[in-house]
Amino acid sequence: MKDILRVVMGEDGRKKSRGVMPIIGWVNPSVNTYMTAAADRKRVSHEELYRRYEEYRGAGFNMVFCMGTAVGASDDGLVEEILEICDKLELGCLLIDAQTYSRPFTEKRLQELYDFASKYASFKGLMVYDEPNVSAFPTLAQNYVMFRKYFPDKLFYVNLLPNYATDEQLGTDNYAKYVAEYAKMVKQGYLSYDHYPFIHFEIGIVNNDKYFKNLSVIRRQSLQSRVPFMVFVEVTAFVSHAHIPNREEIFWQVNTALAYGARGIQYFTYGMPEDTSETFSGAVIARDGTRTASYDAVREINAHLAEVSGILARCRNTGVIFTGIAPMNEFGKTITIPREDLITSYGRLSYVRSGNVLTGCFDCEGSEVYYVANNDFCNYSEVELEFSQSVVLRMIRGGKKREVIVDRIFRLILNAGEGVLLQIK
């Protein structure tokens, strides 16, 4: 099966520097005035809406979740306006349809959606379900078959539950079975899931021992099904007392996911959602429309993503080398990294010594690629890589490229949460 993410994004994106990895912010820029009561909100001018999407693009995102502005919810032309703006800014757009979201599709409605959206270059697919239960899989499988008839090169967007979901939420008592059953029944061209490691705690520690286990399950299913996977990165707290992830913790989530083979990064959240049973704080854009500290952090890591994604999108993860000590959970115990993911060497990389690092090892169409991620989001790590012979490395760090001639031993000092891509030329 073709890599649907590369089909959607293009082999090199619309501009080569942007790469092919989807970089998406959950909750698109608001179309309404800020800081007003719901009854008093007004739709902003076209110029202001364009500025907001330009600001979104400026943070390094290349695709939009069109939340809160569903197709068919009104006839005010807002969705068309957003698509036109995305066309001009070269942003992909995932639409949500009021008539089909989490419901069975019909041929009639799919034809209407095709007639409506296919004329926009920015239209990249439909959001059809978020965090489904196993009981929804048969309908999703049927919907996907119908969807492909009309949109063979678009995303049928479904995001799966994390492994800390309850058995009732999952519809099964086995998370790996939940993921495998979805992949078997729906057979779409990628996997996506969310997992938020910092929720519910006031200090910056991983809150459970499930973060890497979740990555492991998704990675194994991705390799088995021969499809790429995307992850969500926690930026926003959604309980009143929760810790808001800082720059280093955002970097750590992105870079550990890349080391495990992720080919798409999604952020929860860009704009600030409305409070419901959950109380939100943080986000990339605050409720009053101003940029938070997360804006600069996300823009910085996204600039790095734009440079590494063109390589990583062509790679197959072969395993992870782990050295040092993993982060602690709330009970003061180190987070488990599943043994089945671990290797000790790969290709010409004989050893990794020192440092608290994860080194993702990849086959990139015959060449060797290594993604070295600092597994410590509080401290820097010194790491030493030993190769079996002298090599020339292409290194991408902080969005910048350079070549390094290595006489077997290569030493790096990685900042907290930082990741570096190395490719043997």
Residue 5: pLDDT band (50, 70, 90) is confident
Do residues 279 and 333 share a domain? no
Q: What is the pLDDT of residues 271-293, one digit of tens each?
A: 988 877 778 888 999 989 999 99
**Domain count along the chain:** 2
Q: What is the pLDDT of residues 64-97, one digit of tens each?
A: 999 878 898 777 899 999 999 999 999 999 999 9
CA distance 132 to 129: 6
Do residues 9 and 88 share a domain? yes
Task: Render the burial of 208-223: b for 16+ CB within 10 Å, e for the rest.
Answer: bebbbbbbbbbbbbbe
Do residues 248 and 397 share a domain? no
The whole domain housing 326 covers: 316-424
Q: What is the CATH number of the domain that holds 92?
A: 3.20.20.80
Do residues 277 and 192 share a domain? yes
Do residues 274 and 343 share a domain? no
Do residues 273 and 344 share a domain? no
Reply yes or no on whether the pLDDT at 59 is more than 70.
yes
Final residue belonging to a domain, choices 265, 288, 312 = 312
Q: What is the CATH number of the domain that holds 322?
A: 2.60.40
Reply yes or no on whether the pLDDT at 15 is more than 70.
no
Q: Tell me which residue of 51, 9, 15 sits closest to 30, measured CA to CA.
A: 51
Reply yes or no on whether the pLDDT at 16 is more than 70.
no
Do residues 132 and 232 share a domain? yes
CA distances from 188 to 4, 57, 116, 232, 366 (A): 8, 28, 23, 19, 26
Do residues 277 and 396 share a domain? no
Residues 6+ apart with CB under 8 A from 148: 156
Do residues 52 and 195 share a domain? yes
Final residue belonging to a domain, choices 270, 292, 312 = 312
Q: What SS3 class is residue 258?
A: helix
Residue 213: pLDDT band (50, 70, 90) is very high
pTM of the model: 0.95
CA distance 399 to 403: 14
Query: How many residues can be counted in the chain?
Result: 425
Q: What SS3 class is residue 145?
A: helix
Do residues 301 and 346 share a domain? no
Do residues 379 and 293 share a domain? no
Do residues 293 and 343 share a domain? no
Final residue belonging to a domain, choices 279, 312, 345 = 312
